[in-house]
Structure 1
Amino acid sequence: MESSLIIGFIIVAIVLWFWAIFDITRSRFKTPYMSTVWFLAILFFPVIGCLFYFLFRKKLVTESPRKFQPKFNRRD
């Protein structure tokens, strides 16, 4: 019973870790160096870093559209 609980915790921690790293690479932060800071926090403190990242993500990530949005002419 205890070993399955520990294995389940490890699996959840690994999934959270990969999900946080993937989300950091895809997100646009308000300040450019924050992605590096969060990546290092998650690398050195996997479980606590992931939890803090997902708690504070909405305050740090901008959802506004990009300033430069090129419109390419498609030949039809």
Structure 2
Amino acid sequence: MLTWSLPLLILVLLAVVLWFWAIFDVSRCNFKNQKNKMLFFFFILVAPILGSIIYFQIKKSFISKEKKSFKPNFNTTS
């Protein structure tokens, strides 16, 4: 039992790091459609390891190449 504890601990830590990395990446990426962002986020939360792996494999087709820009419009008149 003791011989399996260290490799199992390493696998669990790697899975947790992958999960947090995927959540962080979903929150930072500029998706073409916000529905896709919510679907990926939900899928990663429901199935952490499988969701993270699938997200990193297919994310390029859902992410916009444009950088995020902050363009506030303060010149509104009512």
**Fold shared by both chains (TM-score > 0.5):** yes
Question: What percentage of residue pairs aligned between the two structures are identical?
Answer: 34
AA of the residue aligned to 1:25? S
RMSD: 1.7
Unaligned 5+ segments in structure 1 are: 71-76
> How big is each residue's C-alpha offset from its partner over 1:20-49, in whole Å with a ceiling of 9 and x where there is no partner?
111111111111111110111010100000
Q: Is the 8 A contact 2:29 2:63 kept in 1?
A: yes
1:57 aligned to 2:59?
A: yes
Residue 42 of structure 2 aligns to a residue whose secondary structure is: helix
Tell me the TM-score normalised to structure 1 length. 0.81
Give the aligned residue type for 1:3.
S
Tell me, yes or no, if structure 1 residue 37 matches structure 2 residue 39. Answer: yes
Deviant stretches of 4+, over 2 Å: 65-70
| TM-score, normalising length: structure 2 | 0.79
Aligned residue for 2:10? 8
Measured in 2, the distance between the counterparts of 1:9 and 1:33 equals 32
Give the secondary structure class of the aligned counterpart of 2:64. Answer: coil
Give the AA of the match of 1:32: Q
